[in-house]
Amino acid sequence: MSSKWGFSLLFVVFFLEVTNALNASHTSQSQDTAIHCSTYGQVNYRTFDGKLFDFDGKCSYNLVSGKEGGSHIFQIYVKNEQRCVNGTCRRGIVIYLGHSKQKISLDTNANGTVSVTTDTHSLDLPSTAYSHGIEDIAGNVIVKGPYFALVWDTKENINVEIDPEWKNKTVGLCGNSNGNKTDEFTNEYGTLPSAQAFGNSMAGVGKIILLRFLSDRL
């Protein structure tokens, strides 16, 4: 095991400790059945089904979306920014909730200060938005709602835990959560030939996804 994933696993342990502390109001979910995905270093990913892969992309990507009845109930996008300082590249997160796509954005300013905004205003942590609790614990931003819990170290590490009810109902870089880690590089159009093509297919929304998918097939 490489040191980068060793570090990532340590972060997962921290993530579990934090989410367990927050789980008092989330009793339907246990540590044994919860499903976890993580990304570290802007290029390393571990899917819900345990597939490890590298994907290098400087754009906004669908990390995990929960789909039900053909609709996205929640969407978590990771923004991989171009700017890197001392080997650390900035990331941000955008969350869309419900059919109306209520938006929560997590970013860091140039000085490293965390910025959390909704569709209409900025939030001072701890706070709530659209039935999701958002707080800062030991320098990590935690977003916790009915379907998922997310931990971001405000740099490159992001961990997402979904409720088991979303098993086999996810799409994105975190995979399809069907318990099979050999079929992760698929999207709604089919199987992709590589991790890079799979990652590219998760860029942005709508036409961008289709165009990148087609370009990878040519």
Q: Which residues bind Ca ion (CB under 5 A)?
A: 49, 175-176, 178, 180, 183-184
CB of 120 to Ca ion, least distance (A): 37
CB of 180 to Ca ion, least distance (A): 4
Give dist(CA 60, CA 50) in Å, integer. Answer: 22
| C-alpha dist (Å) from residue 59 to 7, 48, 63, 76, 203 | 24, 22, 12, 14, 7
CB of 187 to Ca ion, least distance (A): 12
Instruction: Give 48 or 152: the residue with its C-beta nearer to Ca ion.
Output: 48
Letter string b/e over residues 154-164, b meaning 16 or more CB atoms within 10 A of that residue's CB: bbbbbbbbbbe
CB of 175 to Ca ion, least distance (A): 5
What is the number of the residue whose Cβ is closest to Ca ion? 49
Instruction: Give 116 or 197: the residue with its C-beta nearer to Ca ion.
Output: 197
Instruction: Give 39 or 176: the residue with its C-beta nearer to Ca ion.
Output: 176
Give dist(CA 109, CA 150) in Å, integer. Answer: 20
Instruction: Give 122 or 180: the residue with its C-beta nearer to Ca ion.
Output: 180
Give dist(CA 30, CA 69) in Å, integer. Answer: 26
